[in-house]
Amino acid sequence: DVVLTQSPLSLPVTLGQPASISCRSSQRLVHNDGNAYLNWFQQRPGQSPRRLIYQVSNRDSGVPDRFTGSGSGTNFTLKISRVEAEDVAIYSCMQGTFWPYTFGQGTKLEIK
Amino acid sequence: EVQLVESGGGLVQPGGSLRLSCAASGFSFSSYWMNWVRQAPGKGLEWVASIKGDGTQKSYVDSVKGRFTISRDNANNSLFLQMNSLRAEDTALYYCTRDGRNSDSWGQGILVTVSS
């Protein structure tokens, strides 16, 4: 199975400052169709997960442009350019390239 | 607007069974792979099972193989998860999600508690 390792697991950030979350895969995530199915999800307290980024770097509709996904091969990153109070949440990466689909452990972002 | 509404959860004894349902609306249901994803209390997300739009392909995480069955009724835009031989470690919030490998939309989740 593909193991996704996120770091850090806890991320205290000052409002207005940038934040970065790493997601490292135990193997390359390129599917036979040429796409890398690496998604990022945001789960606010008491809510269902919401997809922010799909296929590494594509931002979902309605997602603020301060969220950026990047990476290739086995290393992927979610960056928030300027953290706002509404960004307090758990962020999880997920790979949909290989079965079983797997998730990272989740990174808890809090305001310092 | 895509809507996914789960139902059928509850408290069940170890070894018991439950059938979860997910009512889908707002999109062409039969055109999409669908998933079940779960989240144990205080834990991360875990993919459980997927089913192709026409129901001809299914996949499961090893820990539920032989105990859980995913199915769908495209005429009624519904997704199901039949859960048998339930164990304490199956206790979780179960989410229905659209679009298999991309999981672009999620339901609100339904709680399954396995306890004596």
| Confidence label for A83 from pLDDT (cuts 50, 70 and 90) | very high
**Chain A touched by B115 (CB under 8 Å):** no
* pLDDT, mean of each 10-residue run, chain B (116 residues): 97 98 98 97 96 97 98 98 98 95 95 97
A22-40 in b/e form (b: 16+ CB < 10 A) is bbbbeeebeeeeebbbbbb
- Looking at residue B9, its pLDDT comes to 96
Handedness of CA A42, A46, A47, A49 (dihedral sign): positive
- Looking at residue B31, its pLDDT comes to 97
**Chain B touched by A40 (CB under 8 Å):** no
Q: What would the pLDDT profile of A14-69 be if each residue is shown by its tens digit?
A: 999 999 999 999 999 999 999 999 999 999 999 999 999 999 999 999 999 999 99
d(CA B103, CA B106): 7
CB within 8 Å: B44 and A39: no
CB within 8 Å: A100 and B47: yes
> Which member of A41, A92, A101 has the closest CB to residue B101?
A101
DSSP 8-state assignment for residue A16: T
- Looking at residue B87, its pLDDT comes to 98
